[in-house]
């Protein structure tokens, strides 16, 4: 396994491999079973698998956890090696010394859901993903459904900007008790970890509530009341179309629950398809 730290090095390394099917798995490191599932999907679909590990400053807001974001590169490299990853791209910085001059901006989709409290987050995400795509030129790129809004926006970027890249979504990996795996789960105290379970449990209850009503507002009200019972601070709980991310009034086969909540000082997000009769893939 090769570890490349500069765009020049990885380009040089990839030159003789052009023509093979190349997959990119972008990450911020601190790898867990969720990331491993993306790597395994990439391995099953491509000849060459590249994992990028880069904590992108541009996608963090001023008072967010950029400086605290966990860094576990040695362990990450061991995981990648064991999973048969071909190359880790681990750049120190992807922007010019005087900061990014040219960035991408998302209109509508970037201001929904997480975009309401993190107004510049998705601009930072698409800017860095665009840079990674320009350096690596992958045939396919794998993203987790855990960050569904990110996945939907990247699909839209690839489509709007005519990028010759196939974006593949990979299912959410959860702990045995239902909590969606996340590098940020390590911020949770034991009590908060226990409380965090109410997120997935509430979504499951909302899902079974669709038997009684197809009215989104009723199902959302039920979910909010349930979370409030446990003292969870909800940032949003919405039912949206999984392609457009627009809120829905009544349940359709493309309806998905989206949630963001603060448990202590840790912000967690999760999502779940509402329709049980169709496959909910993008």
Of 70 and 253, the one with the shorter C-beta distance to ligand AMP is: 70
Q: How far apart are CA 81 and CA 32, in angstroms?
A: 14
109 binding ligand AMP? (CB under 6 A)? no
CB 282 within 8 A of CB 243: yes
User: Min. distance of Cβ 137 from ligand AMP in angstroms?
Assistant: 19
Helix (H) or strand (E) holding 221: helix 216-229
| DSSP 8-state code for residue 118 | -
* Structure tokens, 145: 């459904």
Q: How far apart are CA 184 and CA 179, in angstroms?
A: 12
> Which of residues 4, 23, 34, 76 is near ligand AMP by CB under 6 A?
34
Query: Count residues contacting ligand AMP (CB under 6 A)?
Result: 17
Confirm whether 35 is a catalytic residue. yes
Q: Which residue bears the tokens 């459904």?
A: 145
Q: List the interface residues with ligand AMP, window 143-202 (CB under 6 A).
A: 143-144, 146-147, 170, 172-173, 180-183
Span from 27-35, 41-49, 73-81, 253-261 in contact with ligand AMP (CB under 6 A): 27-35
42 binding ligand AMP? (CB under 6 A)? no
φ, ψ at 207 (rounded to 5°): -60, -45
| Strands of the chain, DSSP E | 2-4, 22-27, 48-53, 87-89, 140-144, 166-170, 233-241, 255-263, 266-273
Of 170 and 266, the one with the shorter C-beta distance to ligand AMP is: 170
Q: How far is CA 207 from CA 2, 88, 142, 231, 257, in A?
A: 45, 39, 27, 21, 9
118 binding ligand AMP? (CB under 6 A)? no
127 binding ligand AMP? (CB under 6 A)? no
The residue nearest ligand AMP at its CB is 144
User: Min. distance of Cβ 78 from ligand AMP in angstroms?
Assistant: 17
**Catalytic: which of 32, 35, 90, 121?**
35
User: Min. distance of Cβ 193 from ligand AMP in angstroms?
Assistant: 15
28 binding ligand AMP? (CB under 6 A)? yes
**Nearest alpha-carbon partner for 50 in 95, 11, 19, 93:** 11
Of 126 and 181, the one with the shorter C-beta distance to ligand AMP is: 181
φ, ψ at 2 (rounded to 5°): -100, 145
> Which of residues 10, 23, 24, 35 is near ligand AMP by CB under 6 A?
35
27 binding ligand AMP? (CB under 6 A)? yes
Give the active site residues. 35
Query: Which residues of the shown chain bind ligand AMP in the complex (CB under 6 A)?
Result: 27-28, 34-35, 37-38, 143-144, 146-147, 170, 172-173, 180-183
């Amino acid at each position: 396994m090769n570890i490349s730290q500069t765009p020049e090095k990885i380009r040089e390394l990839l030159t003789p491999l052009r023509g093979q099917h190349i997959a990119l798995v972008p990450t911020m490191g601190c790898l867990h079973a969720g990331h491993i599932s993306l790597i395994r999907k990439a391995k099953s679909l491509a000849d060459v698998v590249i994992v990028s590990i880069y904590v992108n400053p541009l996608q963090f807001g001023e008072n967010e956890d950029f400086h605290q974001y966990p860094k576990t590169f040695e362990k990450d490299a061991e995981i990648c090696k064991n999973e048969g990853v071909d190359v880790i791209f681990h750049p120190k910085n992807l922007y010019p010394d005087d900061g990014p001059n040219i960035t991408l901006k998302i209109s509508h989709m970037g201001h929904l859901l997480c975009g309401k409290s993190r107004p510049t987050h998705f601009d930072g995400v698409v800017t860095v993903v665009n840079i990674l795509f320009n350096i690596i030129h992958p045939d396919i790129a794998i993203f987790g459904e855990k960050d569904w809004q990110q996945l939907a926006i990247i699909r839209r970027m690839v489509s709007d900007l005519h990028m010759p890249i196939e974006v593949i979504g990979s299912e959410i990996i959860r702990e045995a008790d239902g909590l969606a795996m996340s590098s940020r789960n390590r911020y949770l105290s034991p009590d908060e970890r226990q409380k965090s379970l109410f997120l997935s449990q509430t979504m499951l209850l909302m899902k079974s509530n669709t038997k009684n009503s197809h009215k989104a507002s009723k199902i959302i009200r039920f979910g909010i009341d349930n979370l409030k019972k446990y003292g969870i601070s909800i940032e949003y709980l919405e039912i949206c179309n999984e392609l457009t991310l627009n809120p829905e009034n009544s349940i359709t086969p493309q309806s998905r629950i989206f949630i963001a909540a603060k448990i202590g000082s840790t912000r967690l997000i999760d999502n779940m398809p509402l329709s049980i009769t169709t496959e909910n893939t993008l």
